Structure 1
Amino acid sequence: MSLLVKSPLRFSLLAIIFVVLMFFILIFLEKNPVIYSSNIIFIGPLMSIFLFFSIKVFRDTNPDGLRFWQGFSIGLLYTLFFTVFYSVILWMDGSVFETSHFDEYREMITEKIVAGKEMLVDQMGEDGYQEYLKSGESSNARIIGSLAFNNIIIGILVTPLVSLFMRTSEPKRL
């Protein structure tokens, strides 16, 4: 397997181990892991740290160094692997273990929409607000898709920055 694939795969699996540990800790603390793991304050830094290490390991082990395109490719692969594994964890939580975590998540979203009704009606109108309120009652698959999309956005925003700062200069050829 190519180092270009091995590095992001390894670090995405390590990041998922942290997510799984966090799931068990939150369940032990009687908190909803879907709500807490979907929080950008948790998932953003976790993804960024392991993305950095994934690119760093490639740069340090590749004799030719790291070009921007390689760092960008590693970052996108890492984001893809992490998002797929993260989605599987969420799917298992909602389907295999049949917990009520997604129901609590939907209730939280609906409460936030209802709390901001005046502002939302001003922005969207009454029909738009009612439609938005219905979207708060979405299926597990739609919630997982939304959280996966958020992870992809984080990866797309962080990857170019890390790749740019981690790249090495071209070796001089005689």
Structure 2
Amino acid sequence: MNLLVKSPLRFSLIATVFVILMFFILILLDKNPVIYSSNIIFIGPLLSLFLFFAVKLFRDTNPDGLRFWQGFSIGILYTLFFTLFYSIVLWSDAVLFATDHFDEYRAMIIEKIIAGKDMLVDKMGEEGYQEYLKSGESSNARIIGSLAVNNVIIGALVTPLVSLFMRTSEPKRV
């Protein structure tokens, strides 16, 4: 398999193992893993750290070094692989294990929307607020999709920075 695909696949699987481990730890601590794993404070650094390792592995093993486009490609592939695996973990929690974690997540979102009612009504109007409140009662698939989009956004923001930081200068052609 090409190193350009192998490196992000390997590190996205490793990052997914950390997510699964975190899920079990949070369940043992009687916390909701969907709420905590969706938190940017957890996902952002996890995604960034293993993205860095995937790009670094390619840079260190490729004899020509790393160009920006290669780092960017690795970052996008890593983000897509990780998001896919993360979504599978969330789907497994919702469907295979039939937990109430998503119900608690929905309740938390609705609670936040209700707490900010005055501000939201001022910005959106009463009809907009009611629509927004109904959107808080979304399906598990929509929640998983929303969390997946958040991961893609984080990856798309971090990837250019890591690629720029990790790139090597082009060897001089004689």
- TM-score, normalisation: structure 1: 1.00
Correspondence for 1:63: 63
Distance 1:100 1:165 in 2: 42
Deviation at 1:59, TM superposition (A): 0.1
Query: What is the alpha-carbon root mean square deviation over aligned residues?
Result: 0.3
1:143 corresponding residue in structure 2: 143
Q: Report how far residue 114 of structure 1 moved.
A: 0.2
Q: How far has the Cα of 1:96 moved from its partner?
A: 0.5
Report matched runs for 1:76-87 at 5 Å.
76-87=76-87
CA distance in 2 between counterparts of 1:114 and 1:170 reads 55
Structure 1 SS opposite 2:109: helix
Distance in 1 of aligned mates of 2:9 and 2:149 = 19
Q: For residue 152 of structure 1, what is the amino acid of its counterpart?
A: V
Alignment size in residue pairs: 174
Match of 2:159 in 1: 159
**CA deviation string 1:18-53 (max 9, x = no partner):** 000000000000000000000000000000000000
Counterpart-to-counterpart distance in 1, 2:128 and 2:30: 35
Q: How does 1:94-105 map to 2 (within 5 A)?
A: 94-105=94-105
Identity of aligned residues (%): 82
Partner of 1:129: 129
For residues 125 and 53 of structure 1, what CA distance do their matches in structure 2 show? 47
Q: Which residue of 2 aligns with 1:169?
A: 169
SS at match of 2:58: helix
Task: Name the amino acid aligned to 2:61.
Answer: T
CA distance in 2, matches of 1:112, 1:137: 12
- CA distance in 2: counterparts of 1:135 and 1:150, whole angstroms: 17
Provide structure 1 residue ranges, at least 5 long, that are not aligned to the other structure: none
Map 1:6-45 onto structure 2 (within 5 A).
6-45=6-45
> Partners of 1:150 and 1:59 in 2: how far apart?
27
> 1:163: how far off?
0.1
Q: Deviations over 1:118-157 (max 9, x none)?
A: 0000000000000000000000000000000000000000
Q: Deviations over 1:94-136 (max 9, x none)?
A: 0010000000000000000000000000000000000000000
Q: Unaligned 5+ residue runs, structure 2?
A: none
Code of the aligned partner of 1:48: S
Normalising by structure 2, we get a TM-score of 1.00
- Report the CA distance between 1:173 and its aligned residue: 1.3
| Equivalent AA in structure 2 for residue 146 of structure 1 | S
